[in-house]
Structure 1
Amino acid sequence: MVNYMGSAVVTVRIPEELKREMEKYRGKVNWSAEIREFIAGRIEEERKREAFERLLNLVESLPGVPKGTSKRLVRDDRESH
C-alpha cells in the first residue's frame, strides 16, 4: 500500500463527456493511479530531454579538430598493421 502522507491534491478540469466515460469504468480503472503514473512518466521524459539537451550543448561547445586529422589517423592506423 502506498502512503500518501504529505501528498498534494491536483484538480483538473475535463469535458463532461469524458467524465461520464470515466464513470463507466470506475470499478475497472483506478483513475488516480493512472494519472499519477502518467504524470511521473511525463516528468521522466522531460528529465531525459533536458539531459540530452545539456549533453548536446556540451558536445557542441567542444573544440573541433584540425582539418585532415581523420585522414591522418586512418592512414596511421593502416600503416601500423
Structure 2
Amino acid sequence: MSTEILSIRIRSDLKKKMEELRHIDWRKEIEEFIERRIREEELRMAIETIEKTLSGVTPSPEPAWKSIREFREKR
C-alpha cells in the first residue's frame, strides 16, 4: 500500500500536549479518525440517495408478507 504525506497546522497548545503524550501513536489515531469520518460520510450520502429514490414511491396498500405468501403458494 502506498502512502502520501498530509501536512496540517494545529494550535501550539495541542502540539505541546501531543508531545507530552508520546506513548500515543498519533499517526494511527488520526488515520483511524479519518477512516471513520469517511465511512460516516459515505453512509450519510448512501442514505440520502436511498431517501431521494424512495421519495417518489408510494407505499403498497397490502403488507409485504401477504405478497410473499401469495408468491410462495403459486410456486
- Scaled by the length of structure 2, the TM-score of the pair is 0.75
For the residues of structure 2 that align with 1:42 and 1:34, how far apart are their CA atoms? 12
Deviation, 1:24, is 0.2
For the residues of structure 1 that align with 2:4 and 2:19, how far apart are their CA atoms? 23
Total equivalences in the alignment: 64
Return structure 1 stretches of 4+ with deviation > 4 angstroms: none
Residue number in structure 2 paired with 1:46 = 41
Deviations 1:30-54 (A, max 9, x none): 0000000000000000010001001
2:32 to 29, 37, 45: 37
What percentage of aligned pairs have identical amino acids? 33
- Scaled by the length of structure 1, the TM-score of the pair is 0.70
Any stretches of 5+ residues in structure 2 without a counterpart? 67-75
Any stretches of 5+ residues in structure 1 without a counterpart? none
Deviations 1:3-24 (A, max 9, x none): xx52111011000111000000
